[in-house]
Amino acid sequence: MRLYTCTCGNRLFFDNTQCTSCGRQTGWCQTCKAVTAMEPEGDHLRCLGPLGSDGCGAQVVPCRNYAEEQVCNRTVPLGGDAYCDCCALNETVPDMSVEGNRARWARLEAAKRRLIYALERLGLPFGAETSPPLSFAFMGDPLDDGLWRKAGEAERVYTGHAEGLITINIREADPAEREQIRVDMNEAHRTLIGHFRHEVGHYYWDVLVRGQCEDQFKALFGDHENPTYGAALERHYAKGAPKGWEEHYISAYATMHPWEDWAETWALYLDIAAVLDTAEELGLIPMQQEPTSVDAMLRRYRTLGLVLNELNREMGLLDFAPAVITPAVAGKLEFIDLVVRRAAGQG
């Protein structure tokens, strides 16, 4: 994740809507691909961003979800679409008549913007030209007097992916609820960005693996056709992960089916890429000018994770990087890296 600079010299962060120093309105400009200061000009804004010696100068207006809902911080070109490139991917948004849903929606959108930023940095396809195009639905289980109640099968919202559509249960955007689920399921981490990274892994299996390199996939992750997904799911929840799973999988859930192994490992790959990108920008590790091998990525990630884990422990927080990356998992990451580079035209 990049850091940005206001015209006053103050540092701007990815989610900023206002400079905390000079008070200027800020937002993501699609022209200069940065969070920048904005100057009012009549019924629109002018980007004061870094593109060119005199700034970007693009004429923009806030995305409708920025101007009306305050759940976005992106702008769109004047005279263009009402929604920014991120919000345009939404098929379903939370019911705003439900108390607390605007705050939950804002958390979901913040995580989604980070996902889209990472996909663009990696050069991965996901727009209208991709089949199927990526889209999102944010929906919730029913509430009784403001409290989540146990939903029946017909009304429960399942977080998942199908034919390009990623559905997230907005209950995951409730920190207390999400932490309770994490503890109940004995997970090291359970985060919104983690859900997005996992589910988009299923999307990219369809886009980049299906019918293209399935034999290579099967050699590393197993046969996704035998047993069926339904049978594997039933077996997993009846018997749990097999003994010694840690040697070959990144999580217990990854043992359920090759598709889940792929999605869990894909999410780890995005974790590593995002962490190293941000650490470079912050000056915590040296900047890499050229693409590096997975082995080099893992060495840098392990070194950084060791330091950050110890810092988190000093504050009584969860480990920053709890995963143990074995040689078997590293081999799967190398395959994912190959698939990513091919999709980005680098291999």
Could you tell me the pLDDT band of residue 148, with boundaries at 50, 70 and 90?
A: very low
Report the distance separating Cα 254 and Cα 261, nearest Å.
4
CA distances from 342 to 50, 66, 253, 268, 272 (A): 31, 35, 27, 19, 19
In tens, the pLDDT along 274-313 reads 999 999 999 999 888 777 899 999 999 999 999 999 999 9
Q: Say what the pLDDT of residue 34 is.
A: 94
pLDDT band at 169 (very low <50, low <70, confident <90, very high): very high
The pLDDT value recorded for residue 149 is 44
* Summary mean pLDDT of the chain: 92
* pLDDT tens track for 315-341: 999 999 998 999 999 999 999 999 999
For residue 194, give the H/E element and its range.
helix 192-204
pLDDT for 94 equals 92
Residue 288: its pLDDT value, please? 83
- CA 241/CA 253 separation, integer angstroms: 7
Which H or E element spans position 113? helix 101-122
Which range has the worst mean pLDDT, 63-77, 133-147, 175-189, 286-300?
A: 133-147
Domain assignments of the chain as residue spans, ordered by start: 4-84, 211-347
By CB neighbour count within 10 A (0-12 exposed, 13-18 middle, 19+ buried), where does 85 fall?
A: middle
User: pTM to 2 decimals?
Assistant: 0.93
Q: Give, as one character, the DSSP assignment of residue 12.
A: E
pLDDT band at 152 (very low <50, low <70, confident <90, very high): very low
From CA 170, how far away is CA 93, in angstroms rounded? Answer: 9
Q: Are 107 and 192 in contact (CB under 8 A)?
A: yes
Q: Can you spell out the DSSP letters for 15-63? A: T-SB-TTT--BEEEETTTTEEEEEEEETTEEEE--SSSTT----EEEE-
**Length of the chain (residues):** 347
Segment among 43-57, 113-127, 192-206 with least mean pLDDT: 43-57
Does residue 54 surpass a pLDDT of 70?
no
pLDDT one-digit tens code per residue, 108-119: 999 999 999 999
At 245-262, the pLDDT tens digits run: 999 999 999 999 999 999
For residue 293 the two structure tokens come to 């091998």
Contact 75, 94 (CB under 8 A): no
